[in-house]
Chains A and B, each alone.
Chain A
Amino acid sequence: MASKQTKKYQQPTATSINVESSVLLSLIRHTSENYPSLFSGSLLGFEDDEGSIDITHAYPFPYADQYEGGSFRSRSGAKYQQEILDSLKKLEYGVDFQGWFQSTVSGNFVTTQLIEGLAQQQLTNKNAFILIHNMSSIGKEVELKALRLSEGFIGAYIDGKWKSKDLESNKVSYLNIFDELPINIHNQHLVNLYLAGLKDEAKTEKEFDVLNLSSNQNVTAQLLESLYSQVDSYNYDQNNFNYYQRQNQKEVSKITQWKQQRKLENLERAKRGEKELDPEEWRSIFRLPSEPSRYNNMLHSHAIDVLADDILKKCDEELTKSFAIERKLTSAEN
Chain B
Amino acid sequence: MPVESSFMHLVRPNVAAPGVPSATGPSSVKIHAPAVFQILEIISKQVLSSDKRIIGTLLGIRSDDGSEFEIRDAFMVPCNETGDSLSIEDSTHKTLYQLYKKAHPKESVLGWFGSSNQIDNTTGLIHDFYSKGSDRAYPYPAIYLNVEYLKDGQISSPELSVYIGAAVGKPIATNVPIGWKTASTNNSYIFTPIPHHVINGSVTEKIAFNTLKEKSVNTTSFVLDSDYSFLSSQLEQVTANIDRLIQEIDTKVASGAASDRELDLLRLLSSTLLNKPQLLTNLAELERLFRDHNQDVIMIEYLTKAVKEQIELSARLTANAEADKKY
Contacts and interface: CB of A to CB of B under 8 A. Distances in A.
Tell me whether chain A's interface is mostly helix, strand or loop, or mixed. Answer: helix
Contacts of B223: 182-185
Interface string B288-327: 0010011001101100110110011011001101110111
Interface stretch (A27-35, A115-123, A269-277): A27-35
Contacts, number: 256
B212 A21 contact: yes
A195 B212 contact: yes
A20 interface: yes
Interface residues of A, number: 102
Contacts of A330: 283, 286-287, 290
Given A22-B34, A29-B201, A319 B298 contact: yes
Given A141-B226, A164-B322, A308 B103 contact: no
Interface in A142-187: 142-145, 163-165, 167-168, 173-175, 182-187
B224 A187 contact: no
Nearest to A52: B221
Nearest to B308: A308
Contacts of A175: 312
A322 B290 contact: yes
Nearest to A321: B231
Contacts of A84: 99
B327 A252 contact: yes
A210 B287 contact: no
Nearest to A294: B318
A2 interface: no
Interface of B: 1, 32-38, 40-41, 43-44, 73, 76, 78, 92, 95-96, 99, 102-103, 149, 155-158, 201-213, 215-217, 220-226, 228, 230-231, 234-235, 237-238, 280-281, 283, 286-287, 290, 293-294, 297-298, 300-301, 304-305, 307-308, 311-312, 314-315, 318-319, 321-323, 325-327
13 contacts: A25-B205, A32-B202, A142-B224, A142-B226, A164-B322, A168-B322, A183-B225, A185-B224, A188-B40, A189-B155, A297-B315, A305-B308, A312-B305
Given A26-B73, A186-B220, 20 more contacts: A20-B37, A22-B41, A29-B205, A59-B103, A87-B95, A139-B204, A142-B207, A144-B224, A144-B226, A167-B319, A192-B220, A193-B158, A195-B212, A203-B210, A207-B203, A208-B238, A211-B234, A301-B315, A308-B304, A330-B286
